Amino acid sequence: MLRKEVLIKEKTEQAVNILKEAGVDCWITFTRESEICGDPTLVFLAPSHVTWHSAFIISSDGRKKAIVGLYDKRAIEDSGAYDSVDSYVTGIKEPFEHYMKELQPRTIAINYSKTSEISDGLTHGLYLVLYELLQEIGFENRLVSAEKIISALRQRKSPSELQAIKAAITETENIFQLVKKFIAPGKTEKQIADFMLNEVRQRHLATAWGESTCPAVFTGPETAQAHYFPTDRQVKPGHLLNMDFGIKVDGYCSDLQRTFYIMEKGEKGAPPEVKKGFETITKTIEEARKAMKPGVKGLVIDELARRIVTEAGYEEFPHALGHQVGRFAHDGTALLGPAWEKYADKPFQPLEPGMVFTLEPRLTVPGRGVATIEDMVLVTETGAEFLDHPQTELMLIK
């Protein structure tokens, strides 16, 4: 089990090195009532939520300081990650300005980004509060975005983070094996989803995203326009069924998709057009994985995958080939995606060792449904390796 204290020490140490690498003097995570509208970075810095204005200040010279409301002090101190924890009763202004004047940083990174949501945890109102505090001591022009720092911190997975992700994958694969025996003609998408959720609960685990769409279960051809919630639509012979499912273990997620074919009477396997669709997907994933290595941009991998699908005669998938996975099913900044407006700079970020990505091409087999697989890979020093047991055979249901 991943202990919070271990993670916080690991990550605050890593942050010091990233600050040095980026040439940034100090990084402030500034938050309040984090249970209401929390900064997604806080979990690497504190063992629990904070109530009042709180500043977690890490410097490239190795100093680590937290300034929090009185009742949050002890929990932050107990984490053992900070050199000192200051607390206050009436307001953060005095201790915060005092420490910043002592620190005299030339650059101050704060948690906002136009394009990377995991780096965009500072709310606009709190930004204004922080700006005014720094203005009072003449530091307001030293602010820069912490996007590169937070992205590196999240994407360079530590051994304990990878262990939690692998555990989440194993649980997910186990439930896929069980549900394979449950799926049968006549069963509804909802029944299948309920069966899986029940398995999650029996294991005292949580789903990787909201239960209303985890698992997402889609059966048959009319699901080409994906509807997120499982419906009362029944499983029918001759149709494809696919599901998107993930589990969270010790705060880390899996995110996997699998495709099943429901055989018609007398069939011994899937018909040729279904096979072709499925094999196009497995080929796309394998070619994409082989092309991944540090330094390559996500855009290039997405393009390669997209071309295999369209050259096989299918419409291109209306989403990115793959995203990073970590504390959220959708995590990190770098993306294996096309240069679309909504993806902003993400597809242009180079891959780095320690990143965990999904590979999830999708295509429609007319009259049958959607063929799609989502596997998970880890970027290594020289390439990329599967973290799950990739689906290589269509799962056939009688």
User: Could you tell me the two tokens for 186?
Assistant: 């006549």
Q: Which is nearer to its own copies, 71 or 182 (CB)?
A: 71
Binding mask 324-343 for its own copies (x = CB under 8 A): ----xxxx--------xxx-
Give the Cα separation of 77 and 87 in Å (integer): 11
**Residue 64 CB, nearest approach to its own copies (Å):** 21
Binding mask 97-116 for its own copies (x = CB under 8 A): ---------------xxxxx
**Residue 14 CB, nearest approach to its own copies (Å):** 20
Which among 354, 338, 358 is positioned nearest to 346, based on CA atoms? 338
Q: Which is nearer to its own copies, 270 or 336 (CB)?
A: 336
**Residue 71 CB, nearest approach to its own copies (Å):** 5
**Residue 225 CB, nearest approach to its own copies (Å):** 8
225-254: contacts with its own copies (CB under 8 A):
225-229
Strands 206-207 and 216-219: unpaired
Question: Looking at residue 374, what DSSP letter applies?
Answer: B
Question: Looking at residue 136, what DSSP letter applies?
Answer: H
For tokens 């720092």, what's the residue?
149
Cβ neighbours for 299, distance < 8 A, ≥ 6 positions apart: 337, 338, 339, 347, 348
Q: Which is nearer to its own copies, 297 or 330 (CB)?
A: 330
- Which residue(s) pair with 159 in the sheet? none
Q: Which is nearer to its own copies, 225 or 382 (CB)?
A: 225
**Residue 178 CB, nearest approach to its own copies (Å):** 22
Q: Crossing angle for the helix pair 159-182 and 4-22, nearest 10 degrees?
A: 120
Q: By CB under 8 A, tell whether 137 contacts its own copies.
A: no
Residue 321 and residue 301 in contact, taking contact as beta carbons nearer than 8 Å: yes
Q: Which is nearer to its own copies, 83 or 211 (CB)?
A: 211
For tokens 């996007």, what's the residue?
147
Q: By CB under 8 A, tell whether 37 contacts its own copies.
A: yes
Using the rule CB under 8 A, which residue among 72, 161, 255, 388 binds its own copies?
72
Give the Cα separation of 117 and 223 in Å (integer): 29
Q: Which is nearer to its own copies, 125 or 313 (CB)?
A: 125
Residue 354 three-state SS: coil
Q: Is 297 left (phi over 0), alpha (psi -120 to 50) or beta?
A: beta
Binding mask 73-92 for its own copies (x = CB under 8 A): -xx--x---------xxxxx
HSE-CB at 54 with a 13 A cutoff on CA atoms is 28
Residue 137 three-state SS: coil
Q: By CB under 8 A, tell whether 189 contacts its own copies.
A: no
Select from 7-15, 69-77, 192-200, 347-355 the region that touches its own copies (CB under 8 A).
69-77
Per CB under 8 A, residues contacting its own copies are 32-33, 35-40, 47-49, 51-53, 69-72, 74-75, 78, 88-93, 112-129, 145, 209-210, 212-213, 225-229, 318-319, 328-331, 340-342
